[in-house]
Amino acid sequence: MITLADDLGHLSYVVTGDGPPVVLVHAGIADHRMWDAIVPELAERHTVIRYDLRGFGESAPPTGPFSETDDLRRLLDHLGHAQVRLVGASWGGRVALDFALAHPDRVDSLALFAPPWRGYDWSAEMVAYDEAETAALATGGLDAALDINLDMWLRGPARRWEDVADGLADRLRGPIRTSLVNQDLVAEHSQGASTGDLATISVPALVGIGKLDVTDFQDIGRRYASEIPDATLVEFATAAHLIALDAPAELSAVLVPFLAR
């Protein structure tokens, strides 16, 4: 990966392919490698930019106040891209959305897969997950917290582990461990979200949800699709929260023509 140093540490990124630029922003329990399966096809038509959010993957944890939106803007400025197609998964979807609201002139299209909704009234299932993770970390149970996250976000509430593709859990263990180790620093220094009205988004938008995901995120996805103008909702029958891992072929089949608009 390439390193972009700054006064808070550094961001790590990788660029593949040639053509109109596409930025892929990873989920909060992953890093840039979650997109590995779809990058080759995208790179046939696009310059594909992947980076690790601050405190994830190979990007350093923050040493002071930072903004995910500013980080993305700084990376695009560094690479010389005035406008990009923007794709985000889970927390990365929220980062992408915040960037589109803050810098609408720099986004050509917006694709969001299982993004959270700030201030959402979470279900008892989600509250129980959060409490279980917090309790595990409070007692030094990093491995237990890691397993709780794998169970919630990879397996999901609607399938058994034997229904999850071989190798996916092992691929996520490292990225989840890094995110858990750094999450307190990230939460302490993150300056929060951009504000804006979803109705002002004027670019083509795609919203994707996994039918095997937590019902909260299915509801949130439909809510985004109904409130963002010109948004299309796509449901992935075989995916839980991490659609790029569970259904990469189906995701590519949807994303490639959308990005070509």
Q: What is the pLDDT of residues 152-189, one digit of tens each?
A: 999 999 999 999 999 999 999 999 999 999 999 999 99
Per-residue model confidence (pLDDT) at position 118: 87
What are the percentages of helix, strand and coil residues in the chain, rounded to 5?
45, 20, 35
What is the SS3 assignment for 170? helix
* Beta carbons of 21 and 84 less than 8 angstroms apart: yes
Please provide residue 241's backbone torsions phi and psi, each rounded to the nearest 5 degrees: -75, -35
User: pLDDT by residue (tens digit) across 196-240?
Assistant: 899 999 999 999 999 999 999 999 999 999 999 989 999 999 999
Report CA Rg, the chain: 17
Q: Is the pLDDT of residue 27 over 70?
A: yes
Predicted structure pTM score: 0.95
Confidence of residue 195 (pLDDT cuts 50, 70, 90): confident
* Beta carbons of 73 and 103 less than 8 angstroms apart: yes
- Give the mean pLDDT of 42-63: 96
CA–CA separation, 182 and 174 (whole Å): 13
Per-residue model confidence (pLDDT) at position 194: 67
Percent share of the chain, pLDDT over 70: 99
Give the H/E segment covering residue 89.
Answer: strand 84-89
Other C-beta atoms lying within 10 Å of the C-beta of residue 119? 6
Q: Are strands 2-6 and 9-17 parallel, antiparallel or unpaired?
A: antiparallel
Distances (CA, A) of 103 to 7, 91, 109, 112, 174: 23, 18, 12, 16, 32
Architecture of domain 2-120+188-259: 3-Layer(aba) Sandwich (3.40)
Q: Is the pLDDT of residue 102 over 80?
A: yes
Report which DSSP code applies to 259.
H
Report which DSSP code applies to 154.
I
- Give the mean pLDDT of 12-16: 98
Per-residue model confidence (pLDDT) at position 85: 98
Q: Is the pLDDT of residue 105 over 70?
A: yes
CA–CA separation, 90 and 231 (whole Å): 17
Per-residue model confidence (pLDDT) at position 99: 96
* Beta carbons of 211 and 218 less than 8 angstroms apart: yes
Q: What integer best gives the mean pLDDT of the chain?
A: 95
